[in-house]
Amino acid sequence: MRCATPLLLLLVIFAMPLSAHSQRNALGLGGGPLEDAGIADSTNELSAGNTLGLLGGGSGERPSHVLKDKFGNELSDPGVEMGEPQRPVILLARCHMGSCWWWRVENTKSVQAEGSGELFRVLHRSADEEISDERFDASGYPDMPSKGAQWSKVEESFVFCSKRLPAFISYDPKIQKYMAVVPFSKKNFPIGATEGVANLYHHVCRTGGNPKFQLTAKTELMQFELRDPRDIFKAIK
């Protein structure tokens, strides 16, 4: 039988299998001053023409928007465009205190690349399962979900592959902005609560699970707001 330590009990909010969106909210990503960390607050530098669908009112619904690459090709809105067919990839996000959740990556596409990093748009689903004590004692946590796994609807997120600011980015309809989180510490490892998005980062950025980031005490596990996922490039001074 497994016994939860007091520390694990303090982290019970992260024990539940969460979608990327829910996990971000559980982390309390609320932005904040970025200048001292060497990160520009790009949310104050954008004109109305650079915002992505933020003029859709305050209904809480996700604004309709379309990202386009430099050739004018539409990259966004998973409800309309799934992109070129790709074979779905299932990867373990996290197992913790009797439950596991997984990503099912449906489509990955590069949006923009510069010297500081490359931004990918990722379409994904998620599924979770409760793992009984008997099952855990017999074989531990499973690497893959059961055949009858109930997958969520398609969600859209962005991953910024970068040594200086590796980040997971997703839209928060409550504030009608994108939230970015650096899921790694300066020792190149995630904390328990960010393990799920860190594993997605490893998959998209092909790190081999052994990244060599250039994070500092101020940029590790950082969280901040963006009006446009591509503004992550402006965030690195």
Rounded to the nearest angstrom, the gap between the alpha carbon of residue 186 and the centroid of all alpha carbons in its chain is 18
Q: pLDDT tens, 1-15?
A: 444 433 332 233 333
Q: Looking at the domain assignment, is residue 1 inside a domain?
A: no
Rounded to the nearest angstrom, the gap between the alpha carbon of residue 125 and the centroid of all alpha carbons in its chain is 12
Q: Looking at the domain assignment, is residue 97 inside a domain?
A: yes
Q: Looking at the domain assignment, is residue 76 inside a domain?
A: yes
Both structure tokens of 18: 């969460």
SS3 74: strand
pLDDT-derived band of residue 54, with 50, 70 and 90 as boundaries? very low
SS3 223: strand
Does 147 or 46 have the greater pLDDT score? 147
Question: How far is the C-alpha of 193 from the C-alpha of 181, rounded, in Å?
Answer: 12
Q: Looking at the domain assignment, is residue 42 inside a domain?
A: yes
Q: Looking at the domain assignment, is residue 53 inside a domain?
A: yes
**Least confident among 61-65, 82-86, 104-108, 142-146:** 61-65
Count of structural domains within the chain: 1
For residues 136-158, average pLDDT:
93
pTM greater than the 0.75 cutoff: no
Instruction: Identify the pLDDT of residue 86.
Output: 80
Does residue 215 register a pLDDT over 90?
yes
Cα–Cα nearest to 180, from 236, 125, 126: 236
Question: How far is the C-alpha of 129 from the C-alpha of 150, rounded, in Å?
Answer: 9
Question: Average model confidence (pLDDT) for the chain?
Answer: 74
| Domain hosting residue 204, numbered range | 6-235
Instruction: Identify the pLDDT of residue 40.
Output: 53
For residues 125-150, average pLDDT:
93
Both structure tokens of 137: 């004692």
Q: pLDDT tens, 77-121?
A: 444 355 566 889 999 999 999 999 999 999 999 999 999 999 999
pLDDT-derived band of residue 64, with 50, 70 and 90 as boundaries? very low
